[in-house]
Amino acid sequence: MIKSPLNYIGGKSKLLNQLLPIFPKKIERFIDLFAGGCNVGINTKAQEYIFNDNLTPLINMYESFLSNDIEKTIKHIKNRINELKLSKQNLQGYNELRLQYNKTKEPLDLFVLVAFSFNHQIRYNNKHHFNVPFGKGRSSFNVMMEKNLIQFIKQIKNINATFYSLDLHSFN
């Protein structure tokens, strides 16, 4: 099983052993209308994959994973961590990154924010600003998160995946 690098609220990673056996043996097109962390789709066997989530910054991050080399993605993450001296204790660095992200919406910076946010979560306010508090003493970009990210990116690059950010009612 490939684990999403995101701790997504409502994630299905713990239910995969129950879900996957009830799927058809042959799936031509797997459509995940509420992709979130993509746990179900990346662990399903299909010929084509469509991941949809109405959280556009999340989809932009996934598309960035697809379009960049894995090494470039990891380098960006580690450079941002070094630039802002991000750690489990550096609230000021986290707040600076959050402020920068809310201005630029750089897709890979979203992942860095998630790595250091409270419980590695994603949340936006009504102004579409990322507003998860700092995960002081708990959250960081650690070895396991990096391993999950690399496996996840390899998988989405390996499958015929397409990402959309459409409202459920607009999807057809």
Identify the three-state secondary structure at position 32: strand
Q: For residue 18, what pLDDT is reported?
A: 83
Is the pLDDT confidence value at 9 over 80?
Answer: no
Interval 102-131: pLDDT, tens: 999 999 999 999 999 999 999 999 999 999
Residue type, 56: T
DSSP annotation string for 4-34: PSS--TT--GGGHHHHGGGS-S--SEEEETT
Average pLDDT of the residues in 132-161: 95
CB atoms within 10 A of CB 29: 11
Is the pLDDT confidence value at 172 over 70?
Answer: no
Bigger pLDDT: 40 vs 15: 40
Q: If you average pLDDT over every residue of the chain, what do you get?
A: 93
Share of the chain above pLDDT 90, in %: 85
pTM of the model: 0.93
Number of H helices, E strands in the chain: 7, 3
